[in-house]
Amino acid sequence: MIVVAGVVTVRVARQFESFPIPFVSSTTHPGDISIRLAGVGWTVARTLQQLGDAVRLATYVGTDLAGRLAKLELHEHGLAGPTVLSTDSQPRSMVLYDREGRRCGASDLRRTPRLTYPATLFAQTVPGDCTAAVLTNIGFTRSLIPVVAERGIPFATDLHLVRDVESAHNQDWMRCAHVLASSHEKLPMSPEQWVRRLWSRYGTEVVIVGCGSRGALLGLRAQRRIWHVPAVAPRGVRFQAGAGDTLLATFVHGYFRSGDPVAAIRRAVLAAGWKVGGTPDEEAGVPAVVLERLIAEGGLPGVIPVE
């Protein structure tokens, strides 16, 4: 069992020919507008489920119309239950993307970043067979860090577009996470330097840096080793939203099952690379049978030691 705590959004996605988008007062484009659930909590939870993990999701769902849509989907996938709490308005997001796969995203999380998830309820509902947790870095999961830490449950966090190793918002997660992931886009130093900085500053055991078209870096503190896994895109690049969440979830699945982080990051890069070739109407994550078929047909991406 893996516990996931994070936001669920109702996402609207619209495809355009290219950026910048010219002003047109009204157009009709059948099939170019998608409405689905998204958000880090949803994408990580569903990716883990698709790979075969039992998942419990701690999140908030709105009591409004959008929230009713979210609740229906949560029920359909077995993610509704006592750890899904109510808030007045459902978080929502929007992604604009072009034919080349470039995207522009915006989110409106309503009150959820300012909420505090009740630690007592979380502690009561975390199952005894919980092997790992993913506590996303939205504010309402901050109260859950001591719960998993006291129980010795290793957890992973994605810092996303982090800019500073002393980031005030991210301190609690950075000090305690066993796995810290982030994007390379806003780092104040090279990804390799970032890995080493987290080792020295926080003693982070496992560091992942998603590098977009360059793939991903994996750093293991115990071995003082860094590996680079180049990107692959078996279906090309069409829709990139959620790729980082897919990367982290697939890594968590493989790492905490096999104990082999290098194999896990190679599978994760393959899964994320396959995912960006899809459309926003596709289900979150990569079905296990698809991932195994990709490995059987083309093998895992290569891995390059970084000196």
Evaluate if residue 307 carries a pLDDT over 80: no
What's the CA gap between 111 and 63, in Å, rounded?
13
Q: Return the closest-CA partner of residue 221 out of 236, 197, 208, 205.
A: 205
Q: Which fold has domain 2-19+33-306?
A: UDP-N-acetylmuramoyl-L-alanine:D-glutamate ligase (3.40.1190)
Mean pLDDT calculated for residue range 43-50 = 98
Evaluate if residue 69 carries a pLDDT over 80: yes
- All structural domains of the chain with their residue ranges: 2-19+33-306
What's the CA gap between 291 and 275, in Å, rounded?
10
209-224 pLDDT tens trace: 999 999 999 999 999 9
What does the pLDDT read at residue 23? 87
224 sits in the region (left: phi over 0; alpha: psi -120 to 50; else beta) called left
Mean pLDDT calculated for residue range 264-291 = 96
223-250 pLDDT tens trace: 999 999 999 999 999 999 999 999 999 9
SS3 sequence of 101-162: CCEEEEEECCCHHHCCCCHHHHHHHCCCCCCEEEECCCHHHHHHHHHHHHCCCCEEEECCCC
* Token pair for 167: 């980031």
Q: What are phi and psi of 178, to 5 degrees?
A: -80, -35
Q: Return the closest-CA partner of residue 180 out of 200, 153, 199.
A: 199
Q: Mean of the per-residue pLDDT values for the chain?
A: 95
Percent of the chain with pLDDT over 70: 100
What does the pLDDT read at residue 134? 98
Q: Return the closest-CA partner of residue 226 out of 127, 305, 137.
A: 305
Mean pLDDT calculated for residue range 110-121 = 96
Evaluate if residue 42 carries a pLDDT over 80: yes
* Token pair for 176: 């305690």
Which has more confidence, 102 or 151? 151
Q: If residue 55 lies in a helix (H) or strand (E), which one and from where to where? A: strand 55-62
